[in-house]
Each structure stands twice: as structure tokens, then as C-alpha cells.
């Protein structure tokens, strides 16, 4: 906390410096850092005050030998516990990129219509999650399936530490249900992958050789009127060395779509580099995790019983409807708190 207070003083001096706004992007970044430290110090001060109040109640009760203060003590203890939980979660969200916007890409697995419908359900789940917790969700691309659902979708999530939260969702998600598309009402298992990377700004140096890029333009398709059906405004960029493919189709301008696609490509290349470094570090400790297709992080079972279970933490709930309606914060929180205590890095698995 002393180091944070010193850093706040440095930021205050920087903000007061003449010419601070000459570089708007850098200024905004410093202001965000200042706000984050101010919030943390405020919470810490409030927590310390609550603990002192609790100690005073306990001392008074001990001296008087009166049980009448038990209610006040329990109420104060509840406040302290709640504040501690909040502070602990803040510590989990202190990674280098946790405050960044999150770029989330969902791909349907093998299985055609079943998996494409499941991928569409995940997009809805994250949309409801964004609504519940005050995030803003901006769709970047959406490829419709031939018979419904989606083949893939990419969206940008902004707000309070979106990457810090959403990195917990990276991996393969598995759905088990009685298929609504099967006339024989058989049970089907579907998979969809969720890939999350932090949106990075221009201060992060990512070298991209134009010769390594293959750029295609195509019609956006889907809803949007005559413009998207007649003009090749959508842009697909393939980074040949890594195999990363980015499609952007939501903007009406090909130039804007290319700019957004390049931003997403830079972010994905950055996340790939960070993940490779983390994997090398984990190899040294024999803790490298398999992130191959099929190694699901979470299962959503609708039949023969109802349960959502996270296979990394063991956390589960029988309220599948609430989870699919966006109530996933407890899964995220349990994962973040559990993973940090195991000494893992803050890079998305």
C-alpha cells in the first residue's frame, strides 16, 4: 500500500505537468491508472477502518461481559468479510493486462447444427453477463450457420477489468442435452471454444510483417440491408506464420473493418506470445496444461440431470438456467481466486 501511495503521488505530479494532454492516449492511460490506485487505496482504508471498529466492539463486549453486543459484532463481521472478499478479488485482477478490454472469439466445434446452436447460446450467455455486470459488448463479426446458430463470432467487451474477468472463460465449453433438432429425442454432446485476448494499445510493440499477411475482402452478408449485400466491406486477414485468421464485418467501411481486424490481430499475436511464455514456465514445474480441442474447462449438462460444473475448480451449480442467462461470476471468481493461490500466471489458458 505504501508503494501504491507513492505511485499515486507520482501520477498526480504527472497529471499536473504542463503539456500533459499533448499525448491524449498516454494521458488517458495514466488517468485510468490513477483512478485504479485511488479506488484500491479507498477500499483498503475502508477495510482497515471496519476492522478497527470490529476490534472495538469485541473489546467492549469482553470488558462488559454483555451478550447484547453480539448482534452488532456479527453485523460488523459480515461487513468485514464482504470487504475482504472484494479486496481479494481486486488483487486477482491486478495482472498487467487485466484492466484491458477483452477480445472474445467463439468457434463452434464439430457437429454441425448442434455445435453451431451451442456457440450461439454462448454468445447470448456472455451478452447477458455483460448486461448484468455493466460491461459493454460490441460485436465485431458473426458467421451464421447454414441451418441456424453460428460458425463463429467475435466481440469486444469493455468496462471494469473485462480481460481480467473474461480470461477465466478461455477454453472448450461442453453442452449435454436432449437435442431440439433430433426427432428421436436423443441426447447429444456439443463443443464450442472460447478464446480471449486483451486489447492492446499502440504502446505495445508488436512487429507484423506485411509480407506475412493474406488479406481478403468479401461481402458481409446477413442482416444490414443493401449495402452489406452489394459491397465487399468485410475484411479477412490471415497471419500466415501463426495461422491466426481475423474477420471483421460490422463496419460499413472496408477501411474501418481492416483497421479493426489489424487491432484484433495485434492483440491475438500478443496473447499468443504471452501464452507461449507461460507454457514454457509451467513446463519447468511439470504443470503444463493441455489446451487441445476436447479438453473442456466446463460442462453444461441439461439431461439426464441439470448441472454446470467447472472442471478446473470443481465449482458447480444445479441452476443451469441462471448460468445460461449470464450468471457466471461465481465460476469466474472461484477460478481467479483458486488459480492465483496455485501460483499460476495471469495469462489465459
- Of 92, 127, 155, the position where a domain reaches its end is 92
Domain that holds residue 223: 210-280
- pTM, to two decimals: 0.69
Burial (CB count within 10 angstroms: exposed 0-12, middle 13-18, buried 19+), residue 254: middle
Q: Give the Cβ contact number of residue 103 at 10 Å.
A: 26
**pLDDT in 10s for each residue of the chain, 349 residues:** 899 899 999 999 999 999 899 988 788 888 878 888 888 888 888 888 889 988 988 888 888 887 778 888 888 888 888 888 878 877 788 787 888 899 999 999 987 899 999 999 999 999 999 999 999 999 988 989 888 899 999 999 998 899 999 999 999 999 999 988 888 888 999 999 999 988 876 666 677 888 889 998 887 665 444 444 456 788 999 999 888 888 888 777 888 888 888 888 888 888 888 777 666 654 543 433 333 344 789 999 999 999 999 999 999 999 999 999 999 999 999 999 886 444 444 333 3
Residue 267, domain member (yes or no) = yes
Residue 33, domain member (yes or no) = yes
72 and 15 within one domain: yes
With both helix axes pointing from N to C terminus, report the angle between 24-64 and 2-16 in degrees, rounded to the nearest 10: 140
Residue 64, domain member (yes or no) = yes
CATH number where 28 lies: 1.20.58.410
Q: In the block, which residue shows the cell 447444427?
A: 113
222 and 165 within one domain: no
Residue 168, domain member (yes or no) = yes
198 and 108 within one domain: yes
Strands 296-301 and 171-178 turn out to be parallel
300 and 178 within one domain: yes
Amino acid at each position: 500500500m505504501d508503494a501504491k501511495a507513492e505511485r499515486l503521488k507520482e501520477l498526480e505530479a504527472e497529471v499536473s505537468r504542463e503539456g500533459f494532454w499533448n499525448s491524449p492516449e498516454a494521458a488517458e492511460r495514466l488517468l485510468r491508472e490513477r483512478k485504479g490506485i485511488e479506488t484500491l487505496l479507498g477500499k483498503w482504508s475502508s477495510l482497515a477502518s471496519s476492522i478497527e471498529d470490529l476490534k472495538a466492539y469485541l473489546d467492549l463486549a469482553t470488558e462488559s461481559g454483555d451478550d447484547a453486543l453480539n448482534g452488532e459484532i456479527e453485523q460488523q463481521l459480515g461487513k468485514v468479510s464482504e470487504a475482504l472478499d472484494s479486496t481479494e478479488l481486486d488483487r486477482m485482477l491486478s495482472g498487467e493486462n487485466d484492466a484491458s478490454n477483452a477480445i472474445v472469439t467463439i468457434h463452434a466445434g464439430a457437429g454441425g447444427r448442434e455445435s453451431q446452436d451451442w456457440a450461439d447460446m454462448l454468445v447470448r450467455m456472455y451478452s447477458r453477463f455483460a448486461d448484468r455486470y455493466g460491461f459493454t459488448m460490441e460485436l465485431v463479426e458473426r458467421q451464421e450457420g447454414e441451418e441456424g446458430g453460428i460458425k463463429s463470432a467475435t466481440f469486444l467487451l469493455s468496462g471494469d477489468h473485462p480481460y481480467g474477468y473474461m480470461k477465466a472463460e478461455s477454453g472448450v465449453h461442453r453442452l449435454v442435452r436432449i437435442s431440439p433438432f433430433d426427432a428421436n429425442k436423443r441426447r447429444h454432446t456439443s463443443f464450442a471454444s472460447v478464446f480471449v485476448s486483451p486489447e492492446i494499445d499502440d504502446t505495445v510493440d508488436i512487429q507484423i510483417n506485411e509480407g506475412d499477411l493474406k488479406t481478403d475482402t468479401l461481402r458481409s452478408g446477413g442482416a444490414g440491408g443493401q449495402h452489406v449485400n452489394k459491397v465487399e466491406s468485410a475484411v479477412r486477414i490471415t497471419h500466415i506464420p501463426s495461422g491466426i485468421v481475423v474477420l471483421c464485418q460490422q463496419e460499413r467501411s472496408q477501411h474501418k473493418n481492416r483497421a479493426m481486424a489489424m487491432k484484433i490481430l495485434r492483440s491475438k499475436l500478443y496473447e499468443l506470445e504471452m501464452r507461449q511464455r507461460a507454457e514454457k514456465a509451467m513446463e519447468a514445474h511439470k504443470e503444463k496444461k493441455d489446451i487441445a480441442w476436447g479438453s473442456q474447462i466446463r460442462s453444461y449438462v441439461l439431461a439426464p440431470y441439470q448441472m454446470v460444473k467447472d472442471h478446473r475448480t470443481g465449482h458447480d451449480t444445479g441452476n443451469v438456467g441462471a448460468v445460461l442467462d449470464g450468471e457466471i461470476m461465481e465460476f469466474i471468481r472461484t477460478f481467479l481466486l483458486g488459480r492465483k493461490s496455485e501460483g499460476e500466471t495471469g495469462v489465459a489458458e
